[in-house]
Chains A and B, each alone.
Chain A
């Protein structure tokens, strides 16, 4: 990317907004900021950012309204800054179309990894091959290699891997996985997904005690780890 990606930071707390923006600029992003959902939406229209970071609880117009409003017109990645323990809010935000979240207080390194994952996902939307560390997925030939070795997957396992990897960094709801991979076949349950996911993970993870590629996402489903948090 030759031009610095623009990130819109929406938070009602000025010290978070400013320190975060300043850290993002150090990492060569251009930033725009807003103090509530309404301002955020105006800034979104005016600056067409490449990614949005938004708090959820804000006076007047909150993060949920902002997410819905942005999703009505655009697929720009949205990362939510959520508060620890408030999982229902986090899940609602994902349901409305947010792509990922970090939990306050987060480390900047963690946030930067999440941002890179989202920007990379939108940039590689039309790629023919996906690769992460040692894992390569050839989407045209439906071939998977890990550390140079061919991995033999069942069609269901391949479907799961393709869906998750092409949405790397994004928590995927079980319902969505069942709809996409099983086409909502009757009798498909979360347990069906668990069984196939477990065998897929055994095949692709170099060290099953230390998952590198796929982890469960509490109360949501699964997430493909685009980039391990440093």
Chain B
């Protein structure tokens, strides 16, 4: 990087000197020399970046003035037309410089985003492939009727931990994807009942579900919304007593759709409700993903014991409801 920049300096100074000497020797007219200087500045900027380009523009402007605008051999300029030519030269070279720098920056950013995206894809594929094989083989083991009690417990343990691992990976990938910026949330009208349906396909835990009749569709990225709910329900399920399944509801709330995950677990000490971060990765992710969907997330004690995790998401009413 250093040698590349040093080369650019060398190139720029040599180029300006060559144009000056050549221009004088061949008695070229000032316009031709101006364009030649511009080419040198442009190349210097492409090779060396904004600083090299800017300094090159200034040196070229000075040489241009000193050697090619009468009175020659001074920095004075008598003809107002030459003032104009020189200013136009300086402005053009500075603008060219900035454009080149911006293009460089954009190219570097695109390159790093593309790299992140392909890394994510590779990680996702490399983690998912063995996990898929493990899932299939674990199910094959579970099906074998000959498994005795101890072995069966072990296989069930593998099964459960595999699911957990899968969800952690899903979480991390969802977060990484958002942060990489290459996957902006793709929102579309999504009926909450369909989100709940997808949750049940992903997370086989007992759930009681209720969607109000007048609940509008939510305008969300369905995959991210699913991620939020799976996290919240997984958390809620873990603390729920066996006789009180997690309750999942959706209702109209002003201009939002309010989705709540209610459990009868031990609840959260009041000091912790303010700081969701202390409740683990799942809740942090829920909060970030809710924000990415234009929504909010908070958590409050449930009357009668337990916790309510609440996500408010923007509504997408049907056209006839908006009138």
Q: Which residues of A contact B (CB under 8 A)?
A: 13, 15-16, 19-20, 22-23, 26, 57, 81, 83-87, 104-110, 191-192, 194-195, 198, 208-211, 215-216, 218-219, 229
Contacts and interface: CB of A to CB of B under 8 A. Distances in A.
Contacts of A110: 201
A191 B219 CA distance: 13
B125 A209 contact: no
B132 A16 contact: yes
In the A-B complex, the 5 residue pairs with the smallest Cβ-Cβ separation, listed nearest first, are A218-B222, A105-B132, A15-B133, A19-B136, A209-B211
A210 B197 CA distance: 7
26 contacts: A13-B129, A13-B132, A15-B133, A15-B137, A16-B132, A16-B136, A26-B143, A83-B125, A83-B128, A84-B173, A106-B135, A107-B135, A110-B201, A194-B189, A194-B217, A194-B319, A208-B193, A208-B213, A210-B196, A210-B197, A211-B197, A216-B190, A218-B190, A218-B223, A219-B222, A229-B201
A85 B177 CA distance: 9
Given A85-B173, A85-B223, A86-B121, A104 B194 contact: no
Given A191-B318, A218-B223, 12 more contacts: A15-B133, A19-B136, A22-B140, A85-B124, A109-B139, A208-B211, A210-B193, A210-B209, A215-B197, A218-B188, A218-B190, A218-B222
Grouping DSSP codes into helix (H, G, I), strand (E, B) and loop, the B interface class, with mixed when no group exceeds half, is helix
Interface string B179-204: 00001001011110110111001000
Contacts of B190: 216, 218
Given A87-B223, A210-B193, A107 B129 contact: no
B133 A19 contact: yes
A177 B247 CA distance: 35
B139 A83 contact: no
Chain B contact residues (Cβ within 8 angstroms of A): what range? 35 or more
B170 interface: yes
Contacts of B188: 218-219
Interface of B: 121, 124-125, 128-137, 139-140, 143, 162, 166, 170, 173-174, 177, 183, 186, 188-191, 193-194, 196-198, 201, 209-211, 213, 217, 222-223, 318-320
Contacts of A191: 318-319
Given A26-B143, A83-B128, A219-B186, A209 B133 contact: no
Contact of A105 (B166, B183, B198): B166
B124 A215 contact: no
B16 to A, nearest CB: 49
Nearest to B208: A209
B135 A85 contact: no
A81 B133 CA distance: 13
A135 to B, nearest CB: 16
Given A85-B174, A191-B318, A16 B129 contact: yes
Contacts of A108: 135-136, 139-140
B140 A105 contact: no
Given A23-B136, A198-B318, A104 B129 contact: yes
